Amino acid sequence: MEFRDLKTQYLQHKDAIDSAMQDVACNAQFIGGEPVRRLEEDLAAYVGMKHCISCANGTDALQLALMAWGVGEGDAVFIPDFTFFSTAEVVPWVGAVPVFVDVDGDTFNMSPCALEEAVKNVIKEGRLTPKVVIAVDLFGQPADYAAIRKITEQYGMWLLEDGAQGFAGRIGDRRACSFGDITTTSFFPAKPLGCYGDGGAVFTDHDEWAELIRSYKVHGKGEDKYDNVRIGMNSRLDTLQAAILIEKLKFLDEEIKHCNEGAEIYTSLLRGIVKTPMVLPGYYSSWAQYTVQFERKEQREQAILKLKDAGIPSMIYYRKPLHGQKAFAGLLSGKAVCPVTEEICDTCLSLPMHPYLKGKEIEMVCDRVKENI
């Protein structure tokens, strides 16, 4: 069984993807060009933002957003303690200080209450200026943007949506990657919309920020890339990846529908046995991961072995709270208190999830999980 079956996906859409790749090879334009322009247009229309700026990966996308806002020394950036390292890594990179915020025990997304508490603490300490909140659409479910937006407005902060896992999710009719002042995503192969290598994108409605990001991603270009008006970076989505993504975007909604059907089967079989993922009313997840929680750590460790014996892969996303990562030692403002994150790290387990997973396979996974409880 595959944790995420990219081979079946390719074989099902082989003709369209092969032809798109061949076109790029025949045209022999491998950087920029029509496919990149067209993809940016398609993606902006899909998420409902005015500008889409493609770049090399989801980590660069986050960094470009912080650069466009001029975030740096003396600024506090609030981040959920339970997410992939990238979300926080970019903060010290621009010279700012990450402040880790505990997550909600049901959705695993940033807790608005904990966020407000953390902002108040930073203000009380008086050393840093609260500047940005990075909310993550963890495992495919958008964060609680109604509540988070209230807090960013009240304290005059910008909202950055890290939609690396959330692409194709929704709240009501509104798609993920449209909730932040700037939002970012990743096209790493295992993400909801993945390419055949690395890729990422930044979205915004704001003309000036979009222009700045277009400059920063091409060596701080002015008139062109040989006129350099600021220190930037080199962050491109190559033409081949763009051509593949144009094709994959066409069947993405259908794929996410299948993931939702799979998630329903999982939840009906596992409810009451482990803690199944909670999708809030009106929310639609893109199921980047299907993550359950055991009561005790030992149960999880046993389940991993039972699954492995049956040839079923499972993953722990994430084993460590960000505030406990060695890389952040000495960079933190005070001591992070995130008991919910700590408990999730000890007890969570992500099970195989992809659009091509069969009902029978889900039953097999659930049978193995049940054996330990």
Ligand X SMILES: *Cc1c(COP(=O)(O)O)cnc(C)c1O
Which residues would be at the binding site for ligand X (CB under 6 A)?
57-59, 83-84, 86-87, 136, 162, 164-165, 186, 188, 198, 200
Query: What is the distance between the alpha carbons of residues 262 and 3, in angstroms, rounded to a whole number?
Result: 13
Residue number, 76 or 322, with CB nearest to ligand X: 322
Helix H or strand E segment including 40: helix 34-47
Q: Is 88 or 340 the residue whose CB approaches ligand X more closely?
A: 88
How is 118-159 classified by DSSP, letter by letter? HHHHHHHH-SSEEEEEEEE-GGG----HHHHHHHHHHTT-EE
What lies within 8 Å, CB to CB, of 157 at 6+ separation is: 78, 119, 130, 131, 132, 133, 151
Residue 269 vs 349, nearer CB to ligand X: 349
CB atoms within 10 A of CB 41: 12
Give CA–CA dist 56/228, Å, rounded: 20
Encoded tokens for 65? 């957003």
DSSP 62-85: HHHHHHHTT--TTEEEEEESSS-T
Which is closer to ligand X, CB of 201 or CB of 270? 201
For residues 282 and 5, give the distance between their C-alpha atoms in angstroms, rounded to a whole number.
28
Q: 164, 184, 169: which is closest to 286 by C-alpha?
A: 169
Nearer to ligand X, 16 or 315 (CB): 315
What is the distance of C-alpha 326 from the center of its chain? 22
Find the shortest distance in angstroms from Cβ 89 to ligand X: 9
Task: Report, in Å, the least distance between residue 118 CB and ligand X.
Answer: 19
CB of 275 vs ligand X, minimal distance in Å: 21
Q: Specify the residue for token string 């460590």.
A: 320
CB of 223 to ligand X, least distance (A): 30
Query: Residue 288 CB, nearest distance to ligand X (Å)?
Result: 7
- How far CA 234 is from CA of 56, 183, 219, 225, in Å, comes to 8, 19, 6, 10
How many angstroms separate the Cα of 80 from the Cα of each of 14, 138, 332? 38, 10, 14
* Residue 165 or 276 having the CB closest to ligand X: 165
Cβ neighbour number for residue 12 with a 10 Å cutoff: 14
Residues 6+ apart with CB under 8 A from 367: none
CB of 196 vs ligand X, minimal distance in Å: 13
Q: Give 196 or 302: the residue with its C-beta nearer to ligand X.
A: 196
Q: Are 113 and 141 in contact (CB under 8 A)?
A: no
In the complex with ligand X, the residue whose CB is nearer, 44 or 110, is 110
Question: Minimal distance in Å, beta carbon 34 to ligand X?
Answer: 24
**Smallest separation, CB 188 to ligand X (Å):** 4
Closer to ligand X by Cβ: residue 87 or 111:
87
* Residue facing ligand X at closest CB distance: 58
In the bound complex, what is the minimum distance in angstroms from residue 212's beta carbon to ligand X? 20
What is the Cα–Cα distance from 13 to 19, expressed in whole angstroms? 10
Q: CB of 254: closest distance to ligand X in angstroms?
A: 23
Rounded to whole angstroms, how far apart are CA atoms 222 and 229?
Answer: 5
Nearer to ligand X, 59 or 241 (CB): 59
